[in-house]
């Protein structure tokens, strides 16, 4: 199976060297993998009729084949030149100081901070921020429950796609942004889409991306109780589960969730639009650094510095490392409060119902700002008590197993 890096490389070749529109290139990756044509050299040696069948267009197939031969020839010439001068005392190129992380380490580097606090310990906390990072926090925590098979990098990327789409919509409604967005111009056509917090976003499937280090140990009669306890997150109390309508429904829902689905990227349609424009030397160098997706590293960095505490009257605000540590702690407390909120409802709501409620919950707790353009980017207080008060009341039941099953059948 081709690695995630192989998939990215063939996408770059198709979109940049062969000038295939990226949306169309993405749709052909799986077919190329099946035909074992994942590198330019393999494509260059392929039978033209096979390529014509694969791409469904003679002109496009010829375009891809010629590009593959051109790239392969260029690399071969470069290799010969390198071998010819290898004995000369020319300085060797410096290797990158950045180690290439394996997927498991990469995902671990993107995990957001956590705190082990209960609702009573969180209730008096008030964080200070603007609306965009709060949307991110709501979305990235929601995805833990509605799309638990997605790795941290995917959740961050998808959450940023939601936040960006919401910001664009808001900017247009208050007159800050004019003209059509890339989505309105049709740049997302052909890309799969999913719904998060009630908003449709375009995604790209990360075929071949394997990020989990260990496969789960098969359960036996002797390990059932042990597994049930050890698989619960440390941030949640260990509990013995009793089979009730709620737990049976949650377990049944999990069987639908756990079906093998590839990891996803949120597609940055504005970047996609730019990448298919006229290519100059400078643009080409820049676009080669990655695909037009929302980068999870940027999303995490933004979240880590977005949540402050108002300094006490007459007191000096923290600075430097202390300020950064305080912001990370504030983020962790907000995420914990959101976890408690989603956790309270997840056992009785379907994924669709939980997603539908998420936006209304965000509206309930978002900071108050001035109306119109004057409030753009404005900050305000978010009492965590408001988040916690949205949790499911004790004894509240909305759906029966039968109702949930009926909803699930309608979705499929």
Tokens of 346: 């997840």
Domain boundaries, the chain: 4-78, 104-208+218-411
Give the integer Cα–Cα distance in Å for 72 and 356: 50
* pTM, full prediction: 0.66
206-to-34, 178, 203, 293 alpha-carbon distances in Å: 15, 33, 9, 11
Give the integer Cα–Cα distance in Å for 337 and 331: 10
Provide Rg for the chain, Cα atoms. 25
Cβ neighbour number for residue 215 with a 10 Å cutoff: 6
User: In what helix (H) or strand (E) does residue 282 lie, and over which residues does it extend?
Assistant: helix 281-287
Cβ-in-10-Å burial (0-12, 13-18, 19+) of 167 comes to middle
Residue that has been written with the tokens 């990370």 in this structure: 328
Residue 359 backbone class (left: φ over 0; alpha: ψ -120 to 50; beta: rest): alpha
Give the integer Cα–Cα distance in Å for 189 and 24: 10
Are 159 and 167 within 8 A, CB to CB?
A: no
Give the integer Cα–Cα distance in Å for 160 and 374: 24
Residue 305 CA, chain-centre distance (Å), reads 19
pLDDT of the residue at 319? 66
Tokens of 328: 């990370």
Are 266 and 155 within 8 A, CB to CB?
A: no
Residue that has been written with the tokens 């008590």 in this structure: 385
Give the integer Cα–Cα distance in Å for 204 and 190: 10
pLDDT of the residue at 356? 95
Extended beta strands in 223-372, E state: 263-266
Tokens of 12: 């770059």
pLDDT of the residue at 297? 96
Give the integer Cα–Cα distance in Å for 325 and 195: 33
Residue 136 CA, chain-centre distance (Å), reads 11
| pLDDT averaged over 10-residue windows placed end to end, the chain, 412 residues | 72 80 76 86 88 86 88 64 46 44 91 96 95 96 97 97 91 81 86 94 90 57 42 41 42 44 92 62 38 93 90 54 91 98 95 96 92 83 96 74 42 40
């Amino acid at each position: 199976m081709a690695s995630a890096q192989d998939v990215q490389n063939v996408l770059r070749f198709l979109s940049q060297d062969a000038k295939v529109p990226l949306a169309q290139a993405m749709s052909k990756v799986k077919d190329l993998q099946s035909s074992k044509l994942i590198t330019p050299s393999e494509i260059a040696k392929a039978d033209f009729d096979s390529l014509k069948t694969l791409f469904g267009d003679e002109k496009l197939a010829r375009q891809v084949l010629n590009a593959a031969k051109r790239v392969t020839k260029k690399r071969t010439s470069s290799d010969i030149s390198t071998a010819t001068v290898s004995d000369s005392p020319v300085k060797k190129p410096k290797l990158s100081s950045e180690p290439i992380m394996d997927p498991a380490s990469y995902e671990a580097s993107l995990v957001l901070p956590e705190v082990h606090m209960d609702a009573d310990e969180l209730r008096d906390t008030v964080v200070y921020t603007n609306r965009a990072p709060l949307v991110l926090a709501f979305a990235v925590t929601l995805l833990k429950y509605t799309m638990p098979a997605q790795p941290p990098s995917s959740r961050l990327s998808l959450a940023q796609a939601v936040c960006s789409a919401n910001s664009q919509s808001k900017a247009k409604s208050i007159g800050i942004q004019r003209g059509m967005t890339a989505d309105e111009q049709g740049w997302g056509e052909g890309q799969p889409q999913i719904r998060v917090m009630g908003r449709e976003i375009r995604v790209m499937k990360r075929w071949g991306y394997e990020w989990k280090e260990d496969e789960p140990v098969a359960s036996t009669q002797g390990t059932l109780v042990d597994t049930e306890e050890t698989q619960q997150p440390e941030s949640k109390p260990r509990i013995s589960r009793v089979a009730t309508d709620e737990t049976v429904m949650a377990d049944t829902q999990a069987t639908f969730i756990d079906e093998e689905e590839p990891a996803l990227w949120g597609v940055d349609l504005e970047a996609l639009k730019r990448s298919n424009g006229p290519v100059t030397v400078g643009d080409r160098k820049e676009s080669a650094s990655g695909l037009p997706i929302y980068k999870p590293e940027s999303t995490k960095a933004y979240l880590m510095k977005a949540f402050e505490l108002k300094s006490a009257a007459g007191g000096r605000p923290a600075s430097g490392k202390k300020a950064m540590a305080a912001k990370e702690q504030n983020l962790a407390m907000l995420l914990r409060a959101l976890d408690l909120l989603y956790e309270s409802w997840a056992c009785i709501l379907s994924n669709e119902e939980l997603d539908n409620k998420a936006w209304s919950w965000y509206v309930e707790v978002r900071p108050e700002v001035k109306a119109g353009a004057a409030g753009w980017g404005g900050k305000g207080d978010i009492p965590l008590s408001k988040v916690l008060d949205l949790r499911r009341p004790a004894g509240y039941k909305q759906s029966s197993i039968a109702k949930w099953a009926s909803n699930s059948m309608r979705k499929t």
